Amino acid sequence: MDYDLIIVGGGMVGASLAMALANSSKRIAIIEAVSPQAAQQPSYDDRGIALSYGSQRIFEALGLWNALAPFSTAITDIHVSDRGHFGVTRLSAKDEHVPALGQVITAKAMGYVLNQAIAKQNNLELICPASVTKLQQHADHVELQLNDQRTITSQLVVAADGGQSTIRKLLNLGALQHDYQQTAITANISTERAHNNQAFERFTDTGPIALLPMTDNRCSLVWTVKSGHEAELINLPEQDFLAQLQDRFGYRLGKLIQVGERHSYPLRLIQADQPIQHRIVLIGNAAHSLHPIAGQGFNLGLRDVAVLADVLSTSDSDVDLGDARLLSSYKSWRLSDQDSTITATNNLVTLFSNDNPILGHLRGAGLSLTDSFPPLKHWLAKKSMGLNDKQPRLSRGLSL
């Protein structure tokens, strides 16, 4: 084989997997279509990424957190509310006995740190810019043809190439797909009051609004609107945009003062039918793209990384990474977390993105009940931190 492992996609998930196996004897390649130095690297834009506490521990185990920490802002409290209805739920790092419920970092900053790290990785070759045009599965290896006509082989191929995964398409894999008819508007917001490391999730009849704490008293905004309305909002003069956002979000952070560059992307659920194939594994958004309502998308993908790296880091140095028993072990370990997270996220969208008055009262009662019942609140906090399921070594802060 040319390699023991080929990772298709060098974004946050693919690069993290490579780093997780940096101390192994395995020969690894990453195939990435866009150069890290490109002005428009889609994996590493200015979006704010909410890292759960479990994800922070994974990066600590990878030896990357000291480099990421200067770009990160801790979330010590989360405030959840429903516009037009009573009831709130408050989650606190102090109540959970953790230093932070999560961290907020821009994708661009994370990309910078990850690219610096993999550039120094001895067992890794970065094939970039390049893309896969054909693949062929054989009994003991997978053969990939690249757009420059090169052919390379590997025991195992991991597809970490995003929601529009080329590998998923080349395999003709089916996928559950649901268009939420919603679009997310993202931007950085400056506010009158200090955020004090508090994150806000505000449900509205058109979708949730999330404001996440960032450096320089800025907040990372994810504003979900009905598809078709995003262009008007993005093109509004700054003060008009802020006025409409203020009306939807309220004044918990005082007056909204300034907004940065605005972007938008459509929201869809994509869940691959069979993410485990012969000598091929789909992880991250290639396997499951989620609505951002609970900020679980990248965290779910990083938990894929932690479990897959755990399974592949066997004590037997001669093990075949594409062995069906290894992939079956990964599948059984990840199934519960993936299915429960996808189901919970989808149910939240259905329950909270509507103006049904009966559901509104039930939502308010549910938020109040959760806030006043510590065991339920503790369970919700653990789930949001990615600590509910069986933890691989990286998630426990242990290096491989």
Task: Report the C-alpha gap between 381 and 101 in whole angstroms.
Answer: 8
Residue pair 364/310 in contact (Cβ under 8 Å)? The answer is no
Mean pLDDT of the 162-167 span:
95
Task: Report the C-alpha gap between 158 and 286 in whole angstroms.
Answer: 10
Per-residue pLDDT band for 179 (boundaries 50, 70, 90) equals very high
- DSSP string covering 274-306: --EETTEEE-GGGTEE--GGGS-HHHHHHHHHH
pLDDT of residue 221 exceeding 80: yes
Pairing of strands 3-8, 151-159: parallel
How many angstroms separate the Cα of 33 from the Cα of each of 47, 62, 107, 123, 143?
A: 20, 25, 17, 20, 18
Coil, strand, or helix at residue 25? coil
How many other CB atoms are found less than 10 A from the CB of residue 291?
A: 23
| Stretch (H or E) spanning 188 | strand 175-191
- Domains of the chain (ranges, CATH numbers): 3-176+268-396 (3.50.50.60)
- Look up residue 77 and give its two tokens: 């409290």
Model's pTM, two decimal places?
0.94
Q: pLDDT tens for residues 328-377?
A: 999 999 999 999 999 999 988 888 776 777 676 777 788 888 888 889 88
Pairing of strands 263-272, 288-289: antiparallel
Per-residue pLDDT band for 318 (boundaries 50, 70, 90) equals confident
Q: pLDDT tens for residues 97-115?
A: 999 999 999 999 999 999 9
Look at residues 213, 176, 178, 174 and name the one whose alpha carbon lies nearest to residue 193.
Answer: 213
Mean pLDDT of the 168-173 span:
96
pLDDT at residue 40, rounded to an integer: 65
Residue pair 37/286 in contact (Cβ under 8 Å)? The answer is no
Mean pLDDT of the 309-318 span:
83
Residue pair 1/154 in contact (Cβ under 8 Å)? The answer is yes
pLDDT at residue 43, rounded to an integer: 63
Spell out the residues 6+ positions from residue 104 whose beta carbon is closer than 8 angstroms to its own.
48, 49, 50, 51, 72, 73, 75, 199, 212, 213, 214, 220
Burial of 120 (0-12, 13-18, 19+ CB in 10 A): exposed
Greatest C-alpha distance within the chain: 63
Residue pair 307/275 in contact (Cβ under 8 Å)? The answer is no
pLDDT of residue 319 exceeding 90: no
Task: Report the C-alpha gap between 397 and 400 in whole angstroms.
Answer: 10
Q: pLDDT tens for residues 278-292?
A: 999 999 999 999 999
